[in-house]
Structures are given as structure tokens and as C-alpha cells.
């Protein structure tokens, strides 16, 4: 999954992960408020803030609102998040006052497994719940981020293991089992609008809410996305070819990581 891509036009070399992070960063608009999960989402959100979205408000579940880290934090509670934040609030407060009422524009999440309706599993894979094959970290803030942010973007590497027909455990609800489920469950946010992977971008079909491939990175064939999806992936009539990272984007990303 760490294949290097050589771009003939701009002559820059980048990894599939870098393309994914850049693509996810581009999905964030300047001035948005963004509830950030750790890992890939945090890299992308910080890249957006370092490039086209300097006024992006980063909110971490540790209670840091408006954090402006100069380096990529390893955890959601690194000291620089608190030291650079506009406000630091308690954990009950971040969830009750800030997330729950729907004040936050976008929730930025990762996933271990995701299904065609954008439901996320970060709890356990295989076997049964009491005797799983793989025990994952669990829910953290994700269920309520997925429920209450105005919309959700998921960043996840694409494979047959991670993109499944039905998740083994619903940790965080996307569209449940289809249209009408979010309303029936009383989930106030609009749900997942994009899944950004190392191959391209998926968006929900407006009718069925099933995630459909709508964008591909340069040089990635649609057949590759199909092969790395565990359900019969629908492909938009004319998928957008997503531009390669610009040198500015790559420089900012690499500077952040200290590489």
C-alpha cells in the first residue's frame, strides 16, 4: 500500500498515503469547525490548516478547541494542543456542550472496517464479540461524532478487509441499513458525505445512500477500486480524476511530519 507514484506532468513523487491525506485535506473548507480523530484524519486536518484553510478550527476530544499545533501530534492530548488552543474545556463539556448540540461542521473519522452504508467498526473483527479474532480499540468519541456533527468525512485505506458488505460491529452509525434509518434513530447530523481512500473518493448515492466511487487519483484504474472493495462497488458514470498533490501540499505535509 505504500506504492510510490511518479507524476509525469509535474514530476513529483508521492505515496498513495500522501495522496489520500492531501485529498482529505482538500475536502475541508477554510473557516469550518472540524472535530478531528487521531491518525489519518489529524494529518489531513492539520495539512488543510497549513495550506488552503488557515482559519480551520480544529477540535480534539481532549477538550482542546481551536488547537494550532506546529507539528503533527501523536495523540489527541499532546501538550501543544492545549498550549495553542483558543479554549480548553473538560471532557464532559466537549461532548455535551460542543458536539451534542450540532455546533460542529464536520467530523473527521478513521475506520478499521466500513460498509457500503458508511457504518464504521472500530470495536472487534471476526469471531463473536466475546471471542473476537481481532480486538480493536473501541468507540472513543466516534459514535457521537458520527451522530451529531453536521456531516462526516471518513479517511481509510481501501482493502477487501476494510471495505465490507456489512461491518462485524456497528461502532458508529453511517446510514444504518439505508434511507430513513438516521431519521428513525434520531441522529441529528447528516451522516457521512465522503469516504476518502488511498485510491479515490466514494460518495453516497443520493437515492440509495450506498457509497459509490465518484473520484479516482491519477493513474488509478476503477478496476483497482473494485478489486479492493468487499461489496459490488458501483462506479459513477464519469468519475472525477483527482489532481496529484501540488509541490506546496507535499512540502507542507512532509514538513509537518518532520520527514
Task: Catalogue the active-site residues.
Answer: 61
- Identity of the residue, 63 or 204, whose beta carbon is nearer to other proteins in the bound complex: 63
Strand order in the sheet with 234-242: 87-88, 64-65, 57-60, 33-36, 106-109, 151-155, 192-196, 200-204, 211-217, 234-242
Cell (9 digits) for 231: 461489496
Report the distance separating Cα 165 and Cα 172, nearest Å: 16
Per CB under 8 A, 253 contacts other proteins:
no
- Identity of the residue, 51 or 148, whose beta carbon is nearer to other proteins in the bound complex: 148
Three-state DSSP at 24 gives: helix
Stretch that binds other proteins, among 3-11, 14-22, 140-148, 213-221 (CB under 8 A): 140-148
- Identity of the residue, 13 or 90, whose beta carbon is nearer to other proteins in the bound complex: 90
Per CB under 8 A, 240 contacts other proteins:
no
Report the distance separating Cα 249 and Cα 244, nearest Å: 10
- Identity of the residue, 112 or 250, whose beta carbon is nearer to other proteins in the bound complex: 112
**Which among 67, 89, 17, 72 has a CA at the least distance from the CA of 252?**
72
Residues numbered 89 to 128 that lie near other proteins (CB under 8 A) are 90-92, 95-96, 99-100, 123
Per CB under 8 A, 13 contacts other proteins:
no
Per CB under 8 A, 140 contacts other proteins:
yes
Per CB under 8 A, 149 contacts other proteins:
no
Report the distance separating Cα 198 and Cα 196, nearest Å: 7
- Cβ-count burial of 82 within 10 angstroms (0-12 exposed, 13-18 middle, 19+ buried)? middle
**Which among 184, 183, 213 has a CA at the least distance from the CA of 196?**
213
Stretch that binds other proteins, among 46-54, 79-87, 197-205, 234-242 (CB under 8 A): 79-87
CB of 12 to other proteins, least distance (A): 27
Question: Is there a contact between 149 and 189 (Cβ–Cβ < 8 Å)?
Answer: yes
Per-residue binding letters, 201-230, with other proteins (x by CB under 8 A): ------------------------------
Indicate the pairing of strand 87-88 with strand 106-109: unpaired
Cell (9 digits) for 47: 495539512
Q: How many residues does the chain have?
A: 259
- Of 17, 181, 203, 205, which lies in the binding site for other proteins, with binding defined by CB under 8 A? 181
- Of 16, 34, 57, 61, which lies in the binding site for other proteins, with binding defined by CB under 8 A? 61
Stretch that binds other proteins, among 2-10, 51-59, 133-141, 197-205 (CB under 8 A): 133-141
**What is the contact surface with other proteins in residues (CB under 8 A)?**
38-39, 61-64, 73-79, 81-83, 88, 90-92, 95-96, 99-100, 123, 129, 131-132, 134-144, 147-148, 169-173, 176, 181, 185-188
Amino acid at each position: 500500500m505504500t506504492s510510490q507514484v511518479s507524476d509525469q506532468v509535474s514530476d513529483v513523487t508521492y505515496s498513495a498515503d500522501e495522496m489520500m491525506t492531501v485529498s482529505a485535506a482538500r475536502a475541508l473548507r477554510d473557516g469550518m469547525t472540524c472535530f478531528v480523530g487521531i491518525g489519518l484524519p489529524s494529518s489531513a486536518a492539520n495539512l488543510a490548516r497549513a495550506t488552503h484553510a488557515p482559519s480551520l478550527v480544529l477540535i480534539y476530544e481532549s477538550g482542546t478547541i481551536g488547537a494550532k499545533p506546529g507539528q503533527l501530534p501523536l495523540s489527541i492530548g499532546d501538550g501543544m494542543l492545549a498550549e495553542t488552543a483558543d479554549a480548553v474545556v473538560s471532557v464532559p463539556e466537549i461532548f455535551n456542550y460542543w458536539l451534542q448540540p450540532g455546533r460542529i461542521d464536520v467530523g473527521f473519522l478513521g475506520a478499521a472496517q466500513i460498509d457500503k452504508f458508511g457504518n464504521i467498526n472500530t470495536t472487534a473483527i471476526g469471531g463473536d464479540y466475546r471471542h473476537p479474532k481481532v480486538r480493536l480499540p473501541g468507540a472513543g468519541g466516534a459514535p457521537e461524532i458520527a451522530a451529531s456533527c453536521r456531516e462526516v468525512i471518513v479517511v481509510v485505506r481501501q482493502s477487501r478487509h476494510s471495505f465490507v458488505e456489512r461491518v462485524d460491529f456497528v461502532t458508529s452509525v453511517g446510514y444504518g441499513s439505508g434511507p430513513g434509518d438516521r431519521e428513525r434513530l434520531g441522529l441529528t447530523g447528516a451522516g457521512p458525505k465522503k469516504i476518502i481512500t488511498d485510491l479515490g473518493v466514494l460518495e453516497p448515492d443520493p437515492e440509495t445512500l450506498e457509497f459509490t466511487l465518484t473520484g479516482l487519483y491519477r493513474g488509478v484504474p476503477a478496476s483497482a477500486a473494485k478489486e479492493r472493495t468487499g461489496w459490488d462497488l458501483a462506479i459513477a458514470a464519469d468519475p472525477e480524476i483527482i489532481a496529484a498533490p501540488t509541490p506546496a501540499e507535499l512540502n507542507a505535509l512532509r514538513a509537518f511530519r518532520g520527514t
